[in-house]
Chains A and B, each alone.
Chain A
Amino acid sequence: MSIKEIQEEIIEEFAMFDDWMQKYDYLIELSKDIPLISEEYRLNQNLIKGCQSKVWLHSTAIDGKVIYTADSDAIITKGIAALLIRVLSEQKAKDILENEMYFIDAIGLKEHLSMTRSNGLVSMIKQMKFYALAFQAK
C-alpha cells in the first residue's frame, strides 16, 4: 500500500471511535505491537531529542526500502510511534520524503504534534525523514 493509502486506512479506523478514551485505548493496544527496536540499538545515540518521553528509533534499508523499529517508555507515544512506523516503514526513501503526515491531525491527535517544548512527535517524524534522506543519498 502507498503511504497515502495507509494514512487513509488509519483515518477510517479511527473514525469508528466516538471519544478520546477509545482512541487512547486503541493506541495502548497498538503500542504492544510496535516493531520493537532490538536491544543492541536501544542506545542513547538513537534517542530522539525533544521528546518528554524517551523514544528510540532505528532504521535500515533493505532493497531500497526503509525499515524502522522503535520503542518508547511512554505508552501513548509508543502507540503513535507504532502508527508512524505502519505508515512509513517498508516504503521507498523518496516516498517517505515526499509525503505529508496528515493522518495525525485527521485522527485528532494534533496536540501530540504541537511544537511545545516537551513534545517530540515532530522530532520523531523529522528523524524518520532524515534517515530516509540519508539512505537516498547513499
Chain B
Amino acid sequence: MTDIVLNIRDQFPILHQKVHGHPLIYFDNAATSQKPLKVINAISEYYLQGNSNIHRGAHYLSNQATEKYEKSREAVRRLINAESTEEIILTKGTTESINLVASCLSQFLFQPGDEILISGLEHHANIVPWQIAVEQKGALIKVIPILDSGELDLVAFKNLLSPKTKLLALSHISNALGTINPVEEMIALAKEKGALVLIDGAQSAPHMLVDVQALDCDFFCFSAHKIYGPTGIGVLYGKKAQLEKMPPYQSGGEMIKEVTFKGTTFNDLPYKFEAGTPNIAGGIGLLAAIEFMEEVGIDHIARREAELLAYATKKLKELEGIQFVGEAKEKAAVISFLVDGIHPSDLGSVLDKLGIAVRTGHHCAQPIMDRFEIPGTVRASFAVYNTENEIDMFIEGIEKVKKMFG
C-alpha cells in the first residue's frame, strides 16, 4: 500500500476491525461511505462544546453554531460550484430533496397531459415521488429505456422529448449498475424543449467534480452520508429563479419572515425551504466531510476509484462464470454481477462470513432488475480507502463460494 492510501485508511477507524474473525472489507460504499475522524470529531466536538440552536443568536454558542452551519452551506456551494448559497437548501438527504421538488412543482407546474421523463436506471427515490406528483395532476411518466450495456438509449430519449415534457429527472450515476449518464448532453436536449431538469447526484457527488453551472441543471440532489459525511443531512441545489417560483414545502419556524393570525410572509431563500430546527450536527459533519474530500482531492478520489474499478473488473473477468450486469463505457466504481448458478443472496451470505461487505438484491432499483430479467445482483462498490489487496481477498472469497455451491 502506498503512503497516501495508508494515510487515508488511518483516518477511518471503522476499517480497522474484524468481522467474523476476518479483517473487514467494506465494499458497500454506494449504500453509504464510512466516516473519517475529521467528521466524527466535528460532530462530537459540536455536542461536547458547541451545541446551541441556530439563527436566533442572542448569545455566543448560538452565534458560533450558526456560523459553522452556514459555513457548511458555503462549502456545499463551493463543492458543486453553485452561484450563491441562496441556492443551497439543506435537507435530510437525496430522497427528501427529490420529494421537495416533486411536491412543490406538482402544485403549480404540472397540468393534465404533461409528461415527466425519467430513466430506466433510476433509484426508487427518483421514481416514486414523480408517480405521486403526476397522479395528483393527471400528468404522465415516460421512461427512457436501458440498452443491454446498461447505458441509456439516447435515440429513444430524443424521441421521447417533446414540448409536453415538463421535467427530466435523471440520475447522474446509476447506483445499481454504475453507469455514468451523459447528463450534459441530455440536459441540453431537454432544455431545448423547455423542460426543467433535476439531476439525482447521490452517486456522482462522492466520486467526481460536479459543476452545476456548467451542467445547467435546474436541480441537483445528493446525500452527505455517501460523501463521507453523516446520515440525516443532504442537499438540494436549485436555480434561484426556480426556487423563487416554488411555494414552500413544509412550514413552521425558520421559514417565515412575519407571522400574524391574518397571514404569514415567507423567509428568503434558502430558509423558505428549511422549516424548523435543522440537523445542525449533521450540517457541521457535512462541512467536515467536504473539507476531507478537498484535502484528499476529488481528482485523487476519482483516480483511485478508477484504478480500483479497473483492477476489480480485470480480476473478475479472469474468473469463470461471471456475468456483469451493466458494462457501460463510462462507469463509476460500482460492479454489479452474478455468478453462474449461484443466487446473489447465497454469495452475499458467504462473503459476509469472510468479513466482506457487499450488497445483494435489487439495490432499490427494481425496474432495472426486471429489465435484465434477474432477481438481483451482487454489487461491490469502492471508495478511496479501498485497496487492491482487498479486491484480491474478495476474488478469493468468490472462488470459495463457487467451490461450496458448485
A112 to nearest B CB, angstroms? 8
Q: Mark B241-267, 1 if CB is under 8 A from A, else 0.
A: 000000000000000000000000000
* Chain B residues within 8 Å of A52, by CB: 344-345, 360-361, 375-376
Contact: A77 with B350, CB < 8 Å?
A: no
Interface residues of A in 13-69 (CB under 8 A from B): 20-21, 24-25, 28, 52-54
Q: Is B349 an interface residue (CB 8 A)?
A: yes
CB within 8 Å: A-B pair count: 41
* Chain A residues within 8 Å of B60, by CB: none
CA distance A112 to B352 in the complex (A): 12
Contact: A76 with B360, CB < 8 Å?
A: no
Can you add 20 more A-B contacts, CB < 8 Å, to A24-B349, A52-B361? Answer: A20-B20, A21-B353, A24-B350, A24-B353, A24-B404, A28-B404, A52-B344, A52-B345, A54-B375, A73-B375, A74-B343, A74-B345, A75-B405, A76-B345, A76-B346, A77-B343, A77-B345, A118-B345, A118-B360, A118-B361
17 A-B pairs whose Cβ atoms sit less than 8 Å apart in the complex: A20-B20, A21-B353, A21-B404, A24-B353, A52-B344, A52-B345, A52-B360, A52-B375, A53-B345, A53-B375, A74-B345, A76-B345, A76-B346, A76-B349, A77-B343, A77-B345, A77-B346
* Chain B residues within 8 Å of A20, by CB: 20, 353
Residue in chain B with minimal CB distance to A25: B404
What residues of chain B have their CB less than 8 Å away from a CB belonging to chain A? 20, 343-346, 349-350, 352-353, 360-361, 375-376, 404-405
What residues of chain A have their CB less than 8 Å away from a CB belonging to chain B? 20-21, 24-25, 28, 52-54, 73-77, 111-112, 118
A43 to nearest B CB, angstroms? 17
B175 to nearest A CB, angstroms? 15
Residue in chain B with minimal CB distance to A116: B361
Closest 10 pairs between A and B when the two form their complex, measured CB to CB? A74-B343, A74-B345, A53-B345, A52-B345, A118-B361, A20-B353, A52-B361, A74-B346, A76-B346, A75-B346
Majority SS at the chain A contact face? helix
CA distance A118 to B343 in the complex (A): 14
A26 to nearest B CB, angstroms? 11
* Chain B residues within 8 Å of A111, by CB: 352
CA distance A22 to B122 in the complex (A): 40
> In this complex, which of A25, A73, A75, A111 has the most chain B Cβ atoms within 10 angstroms of its Cβ?
A75
CA distance A25 to B345 in the complex (A): 15
The residue that A75 contacts in the complex, of B20, B343, B360, B376, with Cβ under 8 A, is B343
* Chain A residues within 8 Å of B360, by CB: 52, 118
> In this complex, which of B20, B346, B352, B375 has the most chain A Cβ atoms within 10 angstroms of its Cβ?
B346
* Chain B residues within 8 Å of A25, by CB: 404
CA distance A112 to B344 in the complex (A): 14
Residue in chain A with minimal CB distance to B349: A76
Residue in chain A with minimal CB distance to B341: A75
* Chain A residues within 8 Å of B352, by CB: 111
Contact: A28 with B405, CB < 8 Å?
A: yes
CA distance A21 to B289 in the complex (A): 39
* Chain A residues within 8 Å of B404, by CB: 21, 24-25, 28
> In this complex, which of B343, B361, B376, B405 has the most chain A Cβ atoms within 10 angstroms of its Cβ?
B343
